[in-house]
Amino acid sequence: MLNFLNPPSAPPPFSRYSQMVAAPSGCRWLHVSGQVGCDRQHQTAEGFEAQAELAWGNLIACLEADGMSVHDLVKVNVILTRAGDVAASRVIRDRMLAGAQPASTLIVVQALASPDWLIEVEGIAAQAI
């Protein structure tokens, strides 16, 4: 079982995530590559919200393909290309994570691999064997 921690010696999280997540020894680990807001035919969705929904949905699909869920996530990294999308990103992340609070990093960059992409989400999950 994962141990989600917010130690009193560190600042509390700014939103819904954990400052630390400890996984017990003997876990099975899954590293999920960055997922973007495109469908299985590589069609990029229009607009930030649609891309964020797809990016998170793609991450969840990868987890489920290996028998895991968002509650097995230890760490997520969210990469945005526009600082103005931070608030919308947090709302969509919280809904898609369904109460899970993995450690999280949010980064705003100038661009992703395609100029059409507005968000990329990657994750690391662990599950007790």
Cβ atoms of residues 80 and 106 within 8 Å: yes
**pLDDT tens sequence across 19-70:** 999 999 999 999 999 999 999 999 999 999 999 999 999 999 999 999 999 9
Residue 129 has pLDDT above 90, yes or no: no
User: In CATH, which superfamily holds the domain spanning 14-128?
Assistant: RutC-like (3.30.1330.40)
Query: What angle in degrees, to the nearest 10, is found between the helix axes of 86-97 and 48-65?
Result: 30
Residue 98 pLDDT more than 90?
yes
Predicted pLDDT at 16: 87
Whether the full predicted model's pTM is greater than 0.85, yes or no, is yes
Q: Is the per-residue pLDDT at 124 higher than 90?
A: yes
pLDDT reported for residue 17: 92
- Answer whether residue 111 shows pLDDT above 90: yes
Domain parsing of the chain, residue ranges = 14-128
